[in-house]
Every structure is written in structure tokens, then in C-alpha cells.
Amino acid sequence: MQMPNYRIRSATEADLPFIRGMVARLRLDGEDLRPEQFIVVEEGERMVAFGRIKPYRRTFELGCVAVVDDRRNRGLGELVVRELIRRFPQQRVYITTDSPDYFQRLGFVRTRALPRELSDKMDRVEGKLRSGVVGMVYRRPCSSGPPVRQAGGRAGQASSQEVRSL
């Protein structure tokens, strides 16, 4: 059996209808969706997963990680998270989630010490969009990823690459 080839690339405007539909269906963070915030994973010509680096004024958040139903449990979510961590524009990778066990397996730890913008977001979504939302952080080693950038800029931009499934 041949392993499928996956290609990771930056999202384009043409990807947004699919992303918006999945975000709405899965009840993910739909605030201010812009293509430059997303990466997508393709299998052939089909988009099978995506994730986001959401910029705020003073920080960034990893989020909107989604995999199409028929490609779940194949490591694609982890592939997206690892690639977003690699591209993340600051040392600390923050996420707000109602799936802490999943992200804990990937090295995130729960924290109450979130940037104010993320605490405010949690107050907006807790009990309305989601319940049981927690803040988590992943501390990247100093030598990994792109140079640290100021919040408010473009995030997640890099050339596409080919990968084999895990």
C-alpha cells in the first residue's frame, strides 16, 4: 500500500469558502478570517486539513486546526500543529481550546498566564460558543522557527512543501 503525499502550503483567497464552512460547522474561532493567517494540507488536489496563526495587537494564537472527517486519525492534525509551531512568529505558542488532552500530547501545558487579548477572547466564547475552554502554551526552543516578529504583522507565510503521512 502506497502512503499518500501531502502538501502543506499557505492558504489563498480561493481556500476561504472551504475554511469558513469548516470553521462554522466545527464551531471554531471565526473572527476575522484572512487567508494569510492559514496553512492548508492537500492530498492531491483536495484540501484535507488546515490551521491558523491568528494575529492580535500584542500576541498571536494558534487555532482553527481542522481535518476533514474521512481523513481523521491519520496524524494530519498533528502535522498541522507542528507546522504552525515551526512557523509561529513568537517564542511562546498560545492556544485556547476545549480539547486540552489533545494539545497536551503535543507538548502544550495549561496556563492561566495568558496575554490579555486571549483572556478577553476566552471570556467572549466560554459558555456561548464553547464550554470548558482553557488556555495553553507551548514554549519553543530558542533555535527553532522563523525570527520573532511583532504582533499585528503577517504570520504563517512560507513556501509549500511535500510531506509523507506519519
Q: For position 129, what pLDDT does the model report?
A: 64
Number of C-alpha atoms within 13 angstroms, CB side, residue 17? Answer: 1
List of residues 6+ apart from 50 with CB closer than 8 A: 11, 15, 19, 22, 38, 39, 40, 41, 64, 65, 66, 80
Domains of the chain from N-terminus onward: 5-151 (3.40.630.30)
pLDDT digits (tens, 9 = 90+) for 93-143: 999 999 999 999 999 999 999 999 999 998 887 766 677 889 999 998 875
Kindly state the cell numbers that stand for 98: 476545549
pTM for this entry? 0.83
